[in-house]
Amino acid sequence: MLLVQHIRDHYDQVLLGLKKRNLVHADTALQQVLALDELRKSSQTQRDQLQAEANTISKEIGILMKEGKTVEATAVRDRSAVLKNQIKELEEQHEQAEVELKALLYTLPNVPYEAVPAGKSAEDNEIVLTHGEIPILPEGKLPHWELIKKYDIIDFDLGVKIAGAGFPVYKGKGARLQRALINFFLDQALAAGYMEVQPPILVNEDSGYGTGQLPDKEGQMYYATEDKLYLIPTAEVPITNLYRDVLVNVSDLPIKNVGYTPCFRREAGSWGAHVRGLNRLHQFDKVEVVQITHPDHSYEALEQMSSYVQGLLQQLELPYRVLRLCGGDMGFTSAMTYDMEVYSAAQERWLEVSSVSNFETYQANRLKLRFKGEDKKSQLAHTLNGSALALPRIVASILENNQGPDGIRMPKVLQPYLGFESI
RNA sequence: AGAGAGUUGGGUGAGUGGCUGAAACCAACAGUUUGCUAAACUGUCGUACGGGUUAUACUGUACCGGGGGUUCGAAUCCCCCACUCUCUGCCA
């Protein structure tokens, strides 16, 4: 959530930023934010003054009562009744301004960082770099959804029986590949200085608001109505919310956490072409890294996280490219996002396997995640996160890119985890 | 799931209608003392939103799990909700 103070002080910059996101009514919305804030402040000032008078009167009454001056006390009490009504009115005005202000702020996305390119859609994303050779596959190459059948390692039909479409069952070497990837990713993150956490995979409503899934994205999450809990769409939600309402010491920054969780997405309305096999699922596995940093260092951290993820892809011997998302394609809460895409050689497509973002103070403001600096004042921290990595599309590209007449070769780094060299 | 107890500042914990934004202790911070460390002593020490100021100072209001109510006045009384703990039941 944007800070009103920031909108007030950097109006033009915020406006320009929101326009980069192609937000049509940005100017109107920002003007309205300022107007509501003014109303909020003026009604508070008036209310506080009256309340101060009322408080004084109450004390006087107390003293009069003690002295047994009942008549005088009654007279003062009448004045108090008048004040009470006025206060109530101002209070309502104040509260309404606050509620409307908050509702409006919830509809405003984060302001993009200056380096974010303008643009409307994925077409306009900037390709930062491309790495690795695209393998030339022999005749008869198969897409991964054929390969998993041929080698009987992932079974979608069984998943349909148990849950439904988009809930695959991993079997034999397929299951072991999952486990190997998860362990490999976690071990790598540990080596890079992240602390491992195992968070709940169901979260309450407050957590959904904290990281920005709510309000608005509730349709994308599975919801357990009986207990009012959401299944997490990403470990970002529980891990970042560990720091909701937390005041950390500046010396503790940066905080670096990593966690493996399954992720659940309803993906309502997004099924169609290009979502075969592992390309899009309702349940998938992901290792997520989260950082909480000092505002001065968050973009360094973003670059760090980006190269960290690239390191993983290099070790897995997958050709990839890095995109800097344009204003129109970036997530609601992000100030800048890099997407990592691997090349899946049988589908002949780039597949997004990671998204690394800096949210600056946008989430921290909602979370009330602050740190106490050297000047003893508390200020909002910056939050970042990235997939490191999401499994299904990694599996898809490993299977496709490494297929050969004698089976599917496994990347060297995974072999110690797998206990076999090929499928 | 049933019964009971509880939720107070960074922590422990007092406080049952006005003198309590809140004792005391601990932690933290600053200073004094000290060859260093430690100890001792003194002081500071919640948050949010306003007013005010170049910025401080100063000042108002609110906040004792959340919401509502009673009252001139609520941490304190009443109602609803959430959460925690204990016992019983069930169970990986």
DSSP calls for A292-358: EE-GGGHHHHHHHHHHHHHHHHHHTT--EEEEEPPTTTS-TT-SEEEEEEEEETTTTEEEEEEEEEE
Position A229 scores a pLDDT of 87
Q: How far is the CA of A302 from the C1' of B42 (A)?
A: 47
What crossing angle do the helices spanning A173-191 and A391-401 adopt, rounded to 10°?
A: 120
DSSP bridge partners of A382? A293
Integer Cα distance of A191 and A185 in angstroms: 10
Scanning every strand, the nucleotide with its C1' closest to A247's CA turns out to be B10
Supply angle C-alpha A234, A248, A108, rounded to 5. Answer: 50
Position A374 scores a pLDDT of 63
Query: Dihedral of CA A365/A370/A375/A377: which sign?
Result: positive
What crossing angle do the helices spanning A173-191 and A298-315 adopt, rounded to 10°?
A: 140
Position A271 scores a pLDDT of 64
Tokens 């989430």 label which residue?
A363
The pair of three-digit structure tokens given for residue A279, joined into one six-digit string = 């390309």
Q: Is A58 helix (H, G, I), strand (E, B) or coil?
A: helix
Domains contained in chain A, CATH given: 4-106 (1.10.287.40), 122-418 (3.30.930.10)
Integer Cα distance of A162 and A164 in angstroms: 6
Under 8 Å between Cβ of A109 and A332: yes
Integer Cα distance of A415 and A423 in angstroms: 11
Tokens 């600096």 label which residue?
A373
The CA–CA distances, whole Å, from A214 to A28, A36, A203, A207 equal 23, 22, 12, 9
pLDDT digits (tens, 9 = 90+) for A81-125: 888 888 888 988 888 998 899 889 989 999 999 999 999 999 999
Q: Which residues of chain A have pLDDT under 70?
A: 269-274, 373-376
Cis peptide before A215 (omega within 30 of 0): yes
Residues 6+ apart with CB under 8 A from A367: A210, A211, A240, A241, A243, A244, A245, A246, A383
Strand B within 7 A of A59 CB: yes
Position A125 scores a pLDDT of 95
DSSP bridge partners of A343? A350
Integer Cα distance of A211 and A262 in angstroms: 18
Position A269 scores a pLDDT of 64
Strand B within 7 A of A83 CB: no
Position A147 scores a pLDDT of 93
Tokens 């290792």 label which residue?
A287
Under 8 Å between Cβ of A181 and A312: no
Strands A283-293 and A255-264, sheet pairing: antiparallel
Strand B within 7 A of A79 CB: no
Q: Is A373 helix (H, G, I), strand (E, B) or coil?
A: coil
Q: Is A271 helix (H, G, I), strand (E, B) or coil?
A: coil
Q: How far is the CA of A67 from the C1' of B8 (A)?
A: 32
CB atoms within 10 A of CB A418: 20
Q: How far is the CA of A373 from the C1' of B41 (A)?
A: 29
Scanning every strand, the nucleotide with its C1' closest to A5's CA turns out to be B49
Integer Cα distance of A167 and A373 in angstroms: 46
Integer Cα distance of A53 and A57 in angstroms: 6
DSSP one-letter code for A223: E
| DSSP H or E segment with residue A287 | strand A283-293
Q: How far is the CA of A200 from the C1' of B90 (A)?
A: 23
Scanning every strand, the nucleotide with its C1' closest to A59's CA turns out to be B18
Strand B within 7 A of A250 CB: no
Tokens 């979608």 label which residue?
A156
Nucleotides on chain B within 7 angstroms of protein Cβ:
10, 18, 47-51, 60-62, 72-73
Nearest to A104 by CA among A163, A158, A48, A35: A35
Strand B within 7 A of A128 CB: no
Amino acid at position A94, single letter:
H
Tokens 């589908």 label which residue?
A347
